[in-house]
With several copies, the nearest count.
Chain A
Amino acid sequence: MSEHPADFVDEPPPAAILVRGERLDQLPDDLYIPPDALRVILEAFEGPLDLLLYLIRRQNLDILDIPIQRVAQQYVAYIELMQELQIELAGEYLLMAAMLAEIKSRMLLPRPSAEDDEGDDPRAELVRRLQEYEQFKTAAENVDTLPRVGRDMAVVQLSAEQVDIDRPQPIPALADLLLAFKEVMQRAELFAHHQIEREPLSVRERMSGILQRLQGRGATPFSSLFPKSEGRMGVVVTFLAILELVREALVEVEQTEPYAPLSLQVAGARGDRRGNDDVITSDGDD
């Protein structure tokens, strides 16, 4: 929604990046996105099925009604983004991309008849796997909400009068001792890690910032939204903010052709701008 078209027009026209129809430049060389940071984000997904489910669910789609075309495109866009950023992807992600491509191509072929080809419909297999995975994803969440000894409940183990003294004390098995040490050290590291995460970069705050920047502008290159100065955590926060904005349907992600960088715009803006050249500005980032 171009509520402030003036802002947009007023901007100096630097090297324009064509989006629709024409190949985009590479990511600016000076843009530093540590691959590790994006790996962290990728790790938020438990694999290709989880990523696919996310793409389906965020559009409130039923698994049985997946518009395979659209979802496959988005999936591939994610994968390409990762590859573009030189993230080493687990083979499973690429396998899934290939599977989606195959389904897509098969769906373009005319179906001989409604009943004929059920047997090896790759789409049926994908849906089966997605359903099965979601089933256990939900089951895992359910199991986690059950009250658990040590987290929500305590077992009672009282000592007794008088027996206290002669109560035999076991000698620890060395393995138990080592395990205890390993765990306490891990916890200490985790603790340190948490403190890093609590840096004053909040996802919500970043969401507002990004939204504000996108207001009244056309498609903005994804990569220009990552401030160089904030390092790894800044990239993570920005990426999470973008995912969250997309999830809440506040912004739209777009990729115009394979391998083209992703661009973002305020949701609904595309309609307004249709028919324009869609020449947008790379705002010579700060």
Chain B
Amino acid sequence: MIEEKILGCVEALLMAADGPLTVARLEILLAEDGAPDRKAIRTALSALQSDYAGRAVNLVEVAGGWRFRVGADYAGLLGKLWEERPPKLSRALLETLALIAYRQPISRGEIEEVRGVSVSSSIIKTLLEREWVRVVGYREVPGRPALFGTTSQFLDDLDLKRLEDLPSLPEIRDLDDLDAAADRLRAGASDEQEGEDDHASTTPEVPAADDADSPSDALH
């Protein structure tokens, strides 16, 4: 495969990935795109590294593999960006957390089974670091996988007293019930979630949550 094409593919993958990618992973991902060997991938990585040298963005090798990162010089600036608008939690993280909350104790393998995709270590790590989940035991099967459960920190942060306050599964089935349940909870909880309603940035005129109800109700 032409070196330039490998370079573009590696660049695309690293720019789009949630976390670092190892050379081995890149090799697997590129299996159908010319199937470069590891040496070719390493060549592309160092070419990219020099392409980006001196830019605000750098390609670095960290423990988990290779990743693009904004340079340390800009830490202050990015702090301002995030202060104003905290980053959104990724879909993958939310789904993992939701599965742990509802299906605990649950192993990583079981989460992956339901999600149909692998759960990255960095997600589990983030959840553990935030003390939203913890290891509550091990399943007594080969490999002794850790079982995860939620913590009291999780309940505190979500303003729940007990886990049972989470809406029940049937309520979740139906979107309308789900909204009703969320409203009920929100009505009982403090207003602290207001500040982080990042929907507001795209739909300034309409508070997203409330509005979602009104049209369909009116038209029922």
User: What A residues does B146 contact at CB under 8 A?
Assistant: none
Indicate if the CB atoms of A177 and B209 lie closer than 8 Å.
Answer: no
**6 CB-based A-B contacts, threshold 8 Å:** A64-B177, A140-B98, A157-B16, A173-B197, A175-B186, A184-B115
Using A134-B208, A169-B86 as known contacts, say yes or no to A64 and B178 having CB atoms under 8 A apart. yes
Q: Which of A96, A138, A155, A177 has the most CB of B within 10 A?
A: A155
Inter-chain contacts of B169 with A (CB < 8 A) = 135-136, 138-139
Is B172 within 8 A of A177, CB to CB?
no
**A5 near B: Cβ within 8 Å?**
no
A149 to B155, CA, bound (A): 10
Per-residue CB contact flags for chain A residues 57-87 toward chain B (1 = under 8 Å, else 0) read 0000011110100000000000000000000
Q: Does B37 contact A (CB under 8 A)?
A: no
| Residue in B57, B86, B95 whose Cβ sees the most chain A Cβ within 10 Å | B95
| Chain B hits for A131, CB < 8 A | 172-173, 208
Q: Are A46 and B75 in contact (CB under 8 A)?
A: no
Say yes or no: is B142 at the interface (Cβ < 8 Å to chain A). no
What mask results when residues 167 to 191 of chain A are scored 1 for a CB within 8 Å of chain B, else 0? 1111111111111111111011011
Q: Which of B106-130 contact A (CB under 8 A)?
A: 114-118, 126, 129-130
CA A150 to CA B153, docked complex, whole Å: 13
Least CB separation from A47: chain B residue = B117
Contact with B along A121-143 (1 / 0, CB 8 A): 00110011101111111111111
Residue interface bits B142-176, CB-to-A below 8 A is 1, else 0 = 00000000000000111110000011011011010
A162 to B116, CA, bound (A): 33
A67 contacts across to B, CB distance below 8 A: 185
Besides the known contacts A134-B170, A143-B94, A159-B16, 14 further A-B residue pairs in the complex with CB atoms under 8 A apart: A62-B204, A129-B116, A132-B114, A136-B114, A146-B160, A149-B157, A153-B78, A155-B19, A169-B130, A170-B89, A175-B179, A175-B182, A179-B178, A181-B98
A181 pairs with B158, CB closer than 8 A: no
A interface residues, Cβ below 8 angstroms from B:
46-50, 62-65, 67, 90, 92, 96, 114, 118, 123-124, 127-129, 131-144, 146-163, 166-185, 187-188, 190-191
In contact, B68 and A156 (Cβ under 8 angstroms)? yes
In the bound assembly, the distance between CA atoms of A133 and B115 in angstroms comes to: 6
Is B102 in contact with A175, judged by CB distance below 8 angstroms? no
Known: A151-B86, A177-B158. A156 touches B114 (CB 8 A): no
Complex alpha-carbon distance, A27 and B70, angstroms: 57
> CA of A140 to CA of B208 in the docked complex: distance in angstroms?
15
Chain B residues within an 8 Å CB radius of A163: 70, 75, 78-79, 82
Question: What is the distance, in angstroms, from B99's C-beta to the closest C-beta of chain A?
Answer: 5
Q: Within the assembled complex, what's the spacing in Å between the Cα atoms of A284 and B114?
A: 46
- Tell me the minimal C-beta distance from B110 to chain A in angstroms: 11
Which one of B67, B97, B116 contacts A140 once the chains associate, using CB atoms below 8 Å? Answer: B97
| Contact yes or no, B117 A46, CB < 8 A | yes
Q: Is B28 an interface residue (CB 8 A)?
A: no
Q: Is A175 touching B69 in the complex (CB atoms < 8 A)? A: no
Q: Check B173–A158 contact: CB distance below 8 A.
A: no
Chain A contacts of B72 at CB under 8 A? Answer: 147, 152-153, 160-162
Inter-chain CA distance A128–B177, complex, in Å, is 11
A114 CB contact (under 8 Å) in B101, B175, B183: B183
The reply on B35 being an interface residue by CB < 8 A is: no
Question: Which of A143, A161, A175, A188 is in CB contact (< 8 Å) with B114?
Answer: A188
Is B53 in contact with chain A by the CB < 8 A criterion?
no
CB-based contact B158/A142 at 8 Å: no
| Complex Cα gap A227–B18 (Å) | 50
